[in-house]
Amino acid sequence: MSSSVPVPGRRASVSASDPPNFIPIPANTRGIPASSFGPQSPSAISGTSPRTYSTSFSTSPSASSHLRGASIGSAFHGMARQLTAFLPITYPLEEEPEKRQGAAKVLLLENINLDAADFLKKQGFEVEHVTKAWSEEELIAKLPNYQAVGIRSKTKITQKVIDANPQLLVIGCFCIGTNQVDLAHAARRGIAVFNSPYANSRSVAELVISEIIALSRQIVDRTHEMRAGIWNKISKNCWEIRGKTLGIVGYGHIGSQLSVLAEAFGMQVIYYDVIPIMPLGTARQVETLEELLSRADFVTLHVPEIQDTINMIGEAEFAQMKTGSFFINNARGKVVDLSALATALESGHLAGAAVDVFPKEPGSNGPGFNETLGDFIPRLRNVPNLILTPHIGGSTEEAQRAIGSEVSNAVWRYLTYGTSLGAVNFPEVDLRAITTNDERHIRVCHVHRNEPGVLKQINNILADHNIEKQFSDSKGDIAYLMADISGVGQEEVEGIYSGIKNTRANILTRLLCELSLASRIWP
C-alpha cells in the first residue's frame, strides 16, 4: 500500500468528520453538460453523496448477483443518473433542477427533532418525518422504500424486520439505548447502528433532581388537591433533601452527572456499579446492591436493559429498602417489577416513587395509558405521592437538538463516506475524504465475515491499482474494510465491484466514487 503524499496544486484532504460546510463542492472542471448524465431511472439504487462522491452500487446476501433487482449494467447507468440527483443546491445544473434533492430515502419515526430532518434534506436525501412509532407489521410493509431509518425507543427493529429489508444500510437510534434493535443480526446483514450515548445525560439528571425534591415535598399531591379546590397546608412527612443519602444504581454518564448535582444540594451520594468506577466529588461506591438499598433515602436507577438487569428490582429488593424511602426509575421499563412497586407503595413501605419508563408504552400521544399496558397501571394511578411521566427523561429542546445533530451526522457520514465511527454494532473505521482533485478515485466499503484470507483476496483484486489508503477492523464475527484506490478507469469499475462482491465472506459491498470519475464513466 502506498502512502499518501502531498501533490503540488492539490487541496489538502478533508476529514470525513469535518462539518458539512467544510466538505468541498465538486467543480465541473471538464465542462461536461448536465444533460450527459441522463434521466434518473426509477430502478436505480439510491445514492448517498450530496457532495463529492456517491454510492454506485452495493450487494447483500439477498442480492448476490444483481443490485436490488437491477443488472450490473443498469446499476452503472443508475449511478450516473443518481450523481445528477445528488448534486448540491449550489451546483450549476441547467436541466432538471428538481433532481438536486437526492433520491436516497430516510425515514424518521417517533417525532425525531426536525433539525435532524432538515440537516439530512440539505445533504441531498429525501426524508419522511413521522410523529409516531411503527409496528413490526408496518415496518415490514413500508420500510423497504428506505435505505436508512431513524427511531427512538418505541420502534422495535427485530430480526424479522431486518430480514424483510435487505436494502437497509443504516439505523439511527436518536436516543441513548439501542436495546430496541437486534444489533447482532443487523451487523450480520451489514447494517450499521448509531446512537447518541451522551447528549441527553444532563436532561435526565436534572429530571431526577426535580423528582427528588417533588417527592420529598409531596408536591404532586398538593398540586392535585389545589386543582380540586382543596387547601391542605401540611409539613408532616415533607423533608429537605440536604443531608439525605442518594443511592445511584449505575454510575455511567447520567449517574455521575447526577452525583455532582446531588452533592451541590448537600446530599450524600453512594453508588453501585458492576465495575469499579472512580467517583466524582465525595461520592462513594458500595460493594453490593443490597448495601445501597439498605442505606439510601432515595434510590435511582440508571442501567441499560440487558439480560442481567431485567427485573433487577422486585419484591425482595423493595423489602431491602428503608421504610419511608423513595424510588425513581428513569432507565428502562423492564428493569423494575411494577406490580411489586405498586405493592410497596400501597403498603406504605415506600413513601413515594417516580416512574418515567414502562415495560410497554403507547406508540403515540393520546389516550392509551391503561390496563392494556399491564394490570399494575390502574394500581399505580391510585397510589399517593407517585410521579408518572411519559418517558420524557431526555425530552428537552437542548437534548433533542443535540441528539438529532449527533445521530443525523453519523448517518450522513456513513452513507456518504462509509465512516462507521460511533457505530454500536460495527467495527469503527474511518478514512479522510476524497477531495475534488482526486480524480479517478474509488472508495471501497466492504462489510464481510471475519474470516482468514479476506484481505488477501481483496488486495489481489485491487493489485493493479494504487491503494492510496486502507483501513480494516473487526468486531466479533463482522469485519469492515475501507480502501481508496486511484487510477481507476471506466472499463475497470465493473470488474472491481463484481470481484469483491463475489468473495466468499462478502456481506455488503459499496463503491463510492467522486463526481469527475462518474462523468468519465458515463459521458
- The grid cell for 90 is 449550489
What is the rounded CA–CA span in Å between residue 338 and residue 344? 10
User: Exactly one of 206, 361, 492, 494 is catalytic; which is it?
Assistant: 361
By the 8 A CB rule, do 233 and 254 touch? no
In sequence order, what are the beta bridge partners of 193?
Answer: 171
CB 193 within 8 A of CB 169: no
Percent composition of the chain: helix, strand, coil (DSSP 3-state, to 5): 35, 20, 45
* ∠ Cα 65 67 73 (to 5°): 90
- What residue has cell string 492539490? 10
CA–CA–CA angle 452, 455, 460 (5° rounding): 125
Q: Are 129 and 117 in contact (CB under 8 A)?
A: yes
Q: How far apart are alpha carbons 155 and 136 in whole angstroms?
A: 8
Q: Which residues pair with 483 in a beta bridge?
A: 444, 470
Integer Cα distance of 238 and 282 in angstroms:
26
Active site residue 361: yes
349 assigned to active site: no
- Are 46 and 127 in contact by the 8 Å Cβ rule? The answer is no
Is residue 332 among the annotated active site residues? yes
Distance (Å, rounded) from C-alpha 292 to C-alpha 245?
Answer: 10
Calpha distance 167→148 (Å, rounded)? 9
Sequence-distant (≥ 6) Cβ neighbours of residue 455 within 8 angstroms: 472, 481
Q: How many CB atoms lie within 10 A of CB 426?
A: 26
The residue annotated as part of the active site, out of 332, 379, 413, 440, is 332
Give per-residue burial for 366-376: e unless 16+ CB within 10 Å, then b: eeeeeeebbeb
Place of cell 411494577: 338
Question: Which listed residue (152, 379, 391, 448) is catalytic?
Answer: 391
Q: Cα(267)–Cα(258) distance, rounded to whole angstroms?
A: 11
| Partners of residue 108 on adjacent β-strands | 129, 150
Active site residues: 332, 361, 391
